[in-house]
Structure 1
Amino acid sequence: MNSLRDINGDTVLHFGPFAFHLNQRLVVEGDQPLRLGGRALDILQVLVEHAGSVVSKDELIAQVWPRSVVEEINLRVHIAALRRAFRDGQNGHCYIVNIPQRGYSFVAPVRQAAAAASVAFENLQKPQHNLPARLTPVTGRDAVVGSLVRQLPVRRFMTLVGPCGIGKTTVAVRVAELLLQHYRDGVWRVDLAMIDDPAQVVDHLTSTLDLEVGADLDALGQWHALLVLDNCEHLLERCRTLVEALLIAAPRLSILATSREPLLAKGESVQLLPPLLVPKASALGSVAEVMGYSAVQLFVSCARARQQSFALREQDLKAIREICQHLDGLPLAIELAAAQIDALALVGLQAQLGNCFQLLTQGRRTAVPRHQTLKAALDWSYERLSPVEQIVLQRLAVFKSAFTLDAAMGVISCATLLPATLRHVMEGLALKSLLSREQVDGLTRYRFLNTTRRYALEKLEHSGALCTFEMRYATHIARAPKPSGRQVLLQLAE
């Protein structure tokens, strides 16, 4: 058994062909660094310091996540990543073993060496990314993350599109993490939420990439890297021209953009980011069944971070479904609601859903202002609409379920809002992710997310026109042809 519990930060630990430089938090095989995340390195250090002994799962979780409540699955994911990195089990070599009912043990011989005597690796310390540290696992996004990871190196330019609060940045950062090993020059995130002036975009890019001021894009000509252009929606035209120039100047560069609407640039592939999955009414049979839905998984994870004793019970299933459904499966809204669990409990949250913007006020203090609360994010989008777009968004909010263009014309068009204008504006609102568009039996229908509709309805009420357009909507419904059996079923489903 090794005695390594008093090692200091300058120590280098050797096992097999690997060297673990504790001070630099770096594991190398020969002269090649292994791409290991921070949590995996934390787990490795605990196991190596207790080499030859069994460390229980609870002890590992307590040391690696001291201020969070996490599921055992998180630990297993990182253990699997370590085993893959060390090619555990191949050629008879075994480093980490699972001791059933007890925990994990690092079983390979470990020897210590002074840092000065270790392999020189200064050149390996050059940062290969500037990704933010992720404090929580990514929930419910395996399919879209996997799709982007497979497609990006081939397609080169993809835009992740969705409404505010849907988690575009979270998904983009996770994709970048998984592609770190693919790109020789690493992955780099450029957060455009930090600027408002299109003239600052290139300077912000070169500053983020640590290039000389005024450097030409040709300086990236041999770059084999992934560039994440995050939050492009308010700088669309400048981002479009920048991306097109970058793809020509750097043939081995891949770009992942996030935006509330497509950039409409040459060669762009668009990936729509859907909401998290909300349980169906028929899926309330058990806690285990409901926990299979990603919206519930996120809520429970966030609630436990606020209240460690939180547990979902059979009598809570209807309430948790209603909360997640009313919040449209939006990760930001779910996180903000779960943050109120210690003050309101599930029943209180359910009762407050009608005042969702008052409910979702405990925001992320470290985020830029427009990302701190859902209302701030919607305010930011709304203020960038033209006056006619704002009017149309307000008036469409009287529709309680999906609607067609003809229905919209019948309810909200007027002498100053002609049908041709309305069609154009509604298409623009759909592009901006403020309306969703779907095809049903060859007919295009539009719908709101609940949160967006509530926001637009408040704006319509403040304008003094709510009663007028509610009456027009009621008249339209009264005059509409009697729905078919299929239409009734669709309305009931909604």
Structure 2
Amino acid sequence: MRFGVLGPLAVWTRDGREVHVPERKVRTVLAVLLAGRLDHPRGPVSADRLAAALWRGRLPVHPDAVVQTKVSQLRRVFADAEPGGRGLVPPHLPGGYLLRAEAADVDAEVFADLLARARRAEAAEAAALLGRALELWRGPAFAGMADDDALRPAADRLEELRLEAVERLAEARLDLGEHHALAGELGELAARHPLRERLRAAHIRALYLAGRQHDALAAYTGLQRRLSDELGVDPGPELSALHRSILRHELVPGPGPPAPGAAWTAPPAPGTPAGAAPPAAAVRARTNLPAPLTRLVGRDADVAQVRALLGTERLVTLTGPGGVGKTRLAVAAAHGLTEAHPGGVWIVDLTALCRAADPGTPTVSLVSDLVAETLGVRDEPTHPVGGGAAAGLITAAHGPREGPAASAPGHAAADMTADRLLTALRDLRDATAPAERDTAADRLVATLREGLSNRTPDRPETGRTAERPLTEAREDPGGDAPGQEDETAADRLVAALRGRRTLLVLDNCEHVIGPVAELAGRLLPAVPDLRVLATSQEPLALAGEVLRPVPPLPVPEPSAQEEPEALLRFGAVRLFVERAAAAAPGFVFDRRSAPAVAAVCRRLDGVPLALELAATRLRALDAAELAARLDDRFRLLSAGSRDAPDRQRSLQAVIDWSCEPLTGPERAVLRRLAVHADGCVLAAAEEVCAGGPVASADVLGLLTRLVDRSLVAVVPGADGPRYRLLESIAAYGVDRMREAGELDAVRRRHRGHYTRLAAAGTRLDGPGRDRWLRRLDAESANLRAALDAALADGDHRAAQTLVSSLTRYWTLRGRHHEARRARDRVAGAPDTGADRPHPSVSAAAAPRG
């Protein structure tokens, strides 16, 4: 059996099933036994300590006996969960009670071991160990129980160790050259822990090495002022030394990520013989995957399924709406596949191309160039002055470039020589008049001789070798070597990847979907060992593509039990609680806050990015206030993490990004769908969403495109497929309808459609009654929305028709309260004189004896 305290208390069987420990005092016994192991792994916990934890000073008459009862209940839970489970907690020992679990079966002890090993490791190995250690965290230690005096010291100690691991991971990644990524990632973390000098030092160092010297110095000055104002101290010697190094420009970046052609290993462990293979843990996987600073929550099964798919399929695309966590899932899945892909695991973020792309440039070339740049595949230029001439000059200057090492970083000096020669050759090419050409040629000779005099002073024959291609360049400045052809970035990628088992993660494909599909369609057939994992809001639509939708995290139903322990079974709640505890240290997930947390998770559809944005608001609001303000969600959730991309800093930005590629008719159908309360069938969409640039016959095709783009979900219904929007997308659509000045018109079409449906549903006493009941059940929310809108707009005829038509349905379903309330609302509505109540409404509203 395995045990978890790095998050809510958890128990799993060997095959991964979660074990429910049903009673709070029994869970407290288990938590205290696990906390005791942190101090004395093999020592018992006294009965007095357990009693104090169970009753917090108000002990019963016979505390030892009651403790024994709770321990017996815990043993029974273990026995029911797994054979031999009862033996994990032996009967009372002389010193108290003991949990007999292996250290490898307790997540906190595994974490502590990985951290201890990382403290002794070089940067590459340390980064791998710390990444594994931080992946174990599912939330704050002993989440939901850490306010108990018996558990608070253990929770505080584990949190301190977690922060140490985060700091060490940042330092290791800096040593490995990942300063650009860390300059952004560490910003919010440093803001949450402003007085942790080690963390602030890592952030300052990252800022400087990323070229942001002003920001680095400002961060140091701010920390210096805060330490003085709040603690009356100066920065420590390490931070002061870092400050001096920045002022003197003495900091040097780490070596950076490994190139695709060369393995990157840590130095051999102490005692390893020279030339011996390093241990497996000491080898840095060839990858540029980021090491996330927060744990992926609620996606264990998804990660396993994606990895399994990539074991058999060559093109897997993760689809889903913006903010659902496609990138995090892809990165987590790819992290476990580095050993299976010795050619490397590389992620390419395509968002940089979306706004920078030149419409006049073939976009597939931009995508290919970005992938090649990420993989370190060099772009050997097509020399503008005779390919053969340029190649000859470069060869003369520093010898032939042969083998894989020809493109390695060690050839930096040769590359500089080549660049200078190529510049001179371009000048020669651009010269038009004979005199200009002679001057350019003389300059080229001088550049070449200067380089050669430094490299080969005792080899005069080298100069003569160089004169032959130079003569060619003078005579034919625009020519190419015989048989030479332009080589595209895609061609270079094929050559670089062929023969290497490589995983390429193409992230955020939706805005450049066509060029990405074209590139993938060229690479996959030409490179049999290549696997591609794409994230996109729509499919690439290539042969052999396997789609893996990424759904929102599960949320509790309104009828779900609202005990904190029960709600933590839902991934959305676990994510919200974890992020809330990190963002707002005073937040407590207990019986008081649990109902509001559940409501927030439901209202935000379980979308991870929306939940994370909402969690930060708990710094200023409590959970109930947050839930109450979600009607104005786009204003409320408008300030995300500073290190997040612009498209993820607010809820509206996420949806704006998703809608940006849509055509005008697609936008119209999307926003008009928002008037439906709980989705709709195709017939309703064709009536309600048509109008203006959208013909009714075009609605199906437009809906299909929106489904492909993950903006509309399709779910099975009683009367055929139903088209639904997430609540946040629906709220966005309503705002866009207001902006377009069409909200009233669309609501009238919606009201008309469902009024006619209700009228047709009066045939509930005929042979098709069951079918009509199911259909009206499915449309209950839309029927209520139509009635509400009719009353709000003063459309009494529609309101009367709806109530009279639905009375029989409400009676058959036993929904008498809803029927009575609807009749009262219609009968009591102000009469504008436009319509008189329908007789059936007046009769239904009359008192019944």
What is the CA–CA distance in structure 2 between the aligned matches of 1:364 and 1:180, rounded to whole Å? 29
Q: TM-score, normalised by structure 2?
A: 0.46
Matched, 1:419 2:696: yes
Structure 2 residue corresponding to 1:22, chosen from 99, 121, 126? 121
TM-score normalised by the chain length of structure 1: 0.78
Identity of aligned residues (%): 35
Distance in structure 2 (CA, Å) of the matches to 1:482 and 1:441: 15
Structure 1 residue matching 2:519: 3-state secondary structure: helix
1:415–1:22 Cα change, 3 Å = closer
Q: 1:212 aligned to 2:305? A: no
Deviation at 1:67, TM superposition (A): 9.4
Residue 620 of structure 2 aligns to a residue whose secondary structure is helix
- Given that residues 35 and 180 in structure 1 are in contact (C-alpha distance below 8 angstroms), is that contact kept between their aligned partners in structure 2? no
* 1:19 positional shift: 11
Kept after mapping to 2: 8 A contact 1:278/1:321? yes
CA contact (8 A) 1:42 1:64 kept: no
Following TM superposition, by how much is the alpha carbon of 1:203 offset from its aligned partner in structure 2, in angstroms? 0.5
Q: Write the distance in 2 (CA, Å) between the matches of 1:156 and 1:245.
A: 13
1:286 Cα deviation from its structure 2 partner: 1.4
Q: How does 1:85-104 map to 2 (within 5 A)?
A: none
Tell me by how many angstroms 1:317 deviates: 2.9
What letter is aligned with 2:761?
Answer: K
1:302-342, CA deviations, whole angstroms, 9 ceiling, x for partnerless residues? 10001223222223333222211110110000000001001
One of 368, 376, 379 as aligned partner of 1:202: 368
Distance 2:774 2:712 in 1: 24
Contact kept, 8 Å, 2:285 with 2:338, in 1: the verdict is no
Letter in 1 for 2:162: V
- The alpha-carbon distance between structure 1 residues 468 and 330, as it changes in their structure 2 partners (threshold 3 A), is same
**Counterpart AA for 1:162:** G
Secondary structure (helix, strand or coil) at the match of 1:315 reads coil
**Cα offsets for 1:55-74 (capped at 9, x unmatched):** 97753541232598xxxxxx
Q: Which amino acid aligns with 1:465?
A: E
Name the amino acid aligned to 1:261: E
Equivalent in the alignment of 1:237:
514
Using a 3 Å threshold, how does the CA distance of structure 1 residues 428 and 41 change in structure 2: closer, same or farther?
closer
Q: Which has the larger radius of gyration?
A: 2
Amino acid at match of 1:38: G
Deviation of 1:24 after TM superposition, in Å, equals 3.1
Confirm or deny: 8 A CA contact 2:716 2:722 kept in the other structure: yes
The equivalent of 2:434 in structure 1 is none
2:549 to 258, 262, 272: 272
Give the Cα separation in 1 of the matches to 2:774 and 2:595: 27
Judged with a 3 Å threshold, the aligned counterparts in structure 2 of structure 1 residues 390 and 285 are, in CA distance, closer, same or farther, namely closer
Superposition deviation, residue 36 in structure 1? 3.9
Equivalent residue runs for 1:12-411 within 5 Å: 22-26=121-125, 36-40=129-133, 59-66=157-164, 113=270, 128-196=286-354, 197=357, 198=363, 199-213=365-379, 214=489, 215-411=492-688
Alpha carbons of structure 1 residues 493 and 119: separation in structure 2 relative to 1, 3 Å = farther
Q: Does 1:485 align with 2:773?
A: yes
* Structure 1 runs not aligned, ≥5 long: 1-17, 28-33, 44-54, 69-111
Secondary structure, counterpart of 2:679 in structure 1: coil
1:153–1:254: 8 Å Cα contact kept in structure 2?
no
Distance 1:339 1:216 in 2: 42
**1:18-65 CA distances to partner (integer Å, 9 max, x unpaired)?**
9996233428xxxxxx9645353999xxxxxxxxxxx97753541232
Match of 1:106 in 2: none
The count of corresponding residues between Structure 1 and Structure 2 is 417
Aligned 8 A contact 2:671 2:733 in 1: yes
Change (3 A) 1:240 1:353: same
Query: What is the distance in 1 between the residues matched to 2:555 and 2:312?
Result: 32
Question: Partners in 2 of 1:463 and 1:487 — Cα distance?
Answer: 32
Distance between the aligned counterparts of 1:265 and 1:422, measured in 2?
25
Question: Aligned in 2, Cα 1:118/1:311: closer, same or farther, shift over 3 Å?
Answer: farther
Structure 1 residue 446: Cα displacement? 0.3
Letter in 2 for 1:134: P
Aligned mates of 2:353, 2:583 — CA distance in 1? 33
- SS of residue matched to 2:123: coil
Q: Does 1:475 align with 2:752?
A: yes
Letter of the 2:708 partner, please give it: L
1:455 CA drift (Å): 0.5
- From the superposition, tell whether residues 154 and 20 of structure 1 become closer, same or farther in structure 2 (CA, over 3 Å): farther
Tell me, in whole angstroms, the C-alpha distance in 1 between the residues paired with 2:692 and 2:123.
Answer: 69
Structure 1 distance, partners of 2:135, 2:299, is 24
**Greater per-residue helix proportion:** 2
CA shift at 1:485, angstroms?
3.4
Q: Distance in 1 between matches of 2:277 and 2:692?
A: 76
Secondary structure of 1:281's match?
A: coil
Structure 1 pair 342–41 and aligned structure 2 pair: CA distance change class (3 A): closer
Mapped to 2, the partners of 1:122 and 1:284 lie a distance apart of 50
What amino acid is the match of 1:293?
F
Tell me the amino acid that sits aligned with residue 146 of structure 1.
Answer: A
Question: What's the offset of the Cα at 1:126?
Answer: 6.2
Contact 1:167 1:331 in 2 (8 A): yes
Deviations, residues 371-419 of structure 1 (Å, cap 9, x unaligned): 2222112112222211111122222221111101111122232375222
Q: 1:35 to 1:302 in 2, by over 3 A?
A: closer
- 3-state SS of 1:469 partner: helix
**Counterpart amino acid of 2:773?**
G
CA distance 1:400–1:379, change in 2 (3 Å): same
Amino acid at match of 2:774: R
Q: Following TM superposition, by how much is the alpha carbon of 1:249 offset from its aligned partner in structure 2, in angstroms?
A: 2.0
Q: Within 1, Cα distance between the matches of 2:274 and 2:119?
A: 13
Distance 1:283 1:236 in 2: 40
Q: In 1, are the aligned partners of 2:135 and 2:296 still within 8 Å (CA)?
A: no
Match of 2:735 among 444, 450, 458: 458
Q: What secondary structure does 1:26 align onto?
A: helix
* AA at the equivalent of 2:559: S
RMSD, aligned CA = 3.0
Per-residue deviation, residues 130-166 of structure 1 (Å, max 9, x unmatched) = 1112111111111211111111021111000000010
State the one-letter code of the partner of 1:405: L
SS in 2 for 1:159: strand
Conservation of the 8 A alpha-carbon contact between 2:668 and 2:694: no
CA contact (8 A) 2:285 2:339 kept: no
Post-superposition shift, 1:350?
Answer: 1.0
User: Separation in 2 of the partners of 1:384 and 1:61?
Assistant: 43
**C-alpha distance 442-486 of structure 1, shift in aligned 2 (>3 A):** closer
Give the distance between the partners of 2:594 and 2:158, measured in 1 at CA. Answer: 31
